[in-house]
């Protein structure tokens, strides 16, 4: 299976993927601090974790990633996964890698796997519906920044 846990040596590639995703979505200004991100992912108190999708037949080449953290549902009384970012480089799409990343996440928890998606992303909506995922009716996400 071309999905693996990210390791410290992947930090540069992870930051590059995040920046590529931002550019794909129209944000050409995002430039991440590699050392800071490495600390958040691989330091003594990690805040998030990443699964890497590799190119089928070439496990040394990175095709995409899932950037995640744990959450907890008090009503379900179990941990789940917050998927902050899912991105497959355009040239590697339509090979089942996004599904493999999500299947790997699903296998890690008996709780919820949740994420946001930009409104109007019809391809994304179709992909997630095909997985059996559905939008959460009646909920609005809020964000409070410093």
Residue count (the chain): 146
Cβ atoms of residues 64 and 97 within 8 Å: yes
Query: Of 45, 138, 39, 27, which is closest to residue 85 (Cα–Cα)?
Result: 27
Q: How far apart are CA 116 and CA 104, in angstroms?
A: 18
- The reply to whether 128 belongs to the active site is yes
- Give catalytic residues, as residue numbers: 128
């Amino acid at each position: 299976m071309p999905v693996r846990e990210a390791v410290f040596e992947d930090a540069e590639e992870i930051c590059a993927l995040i920046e590529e995703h931002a550019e794909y979505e129209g944000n050409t200004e995002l430039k991440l601090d590699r050392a800071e991100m490495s600390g958040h992912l691989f330091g003594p108190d990690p805040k998030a974790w990443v699964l890497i999708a590799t190119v089928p037949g070439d496990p040394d080449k990175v095709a995409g990633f899932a950037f995640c953290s744990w959450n907890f549902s008090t009503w379900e009384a179990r941990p789940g996964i917050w998927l902050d970012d899912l991105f497959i480089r355009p040239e590697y799409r339509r090979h089942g890698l996004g599904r493999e990343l999500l299947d790997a996440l699903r296998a890690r928890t008996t709780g919820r796997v949740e994420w946001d998606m930009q409104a109007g992303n019809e391809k994304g909506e179709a992909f997630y519906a095909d997985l059996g995922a559905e939008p959460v009716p009646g909920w609005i996400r809020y964000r409070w920044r410093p």
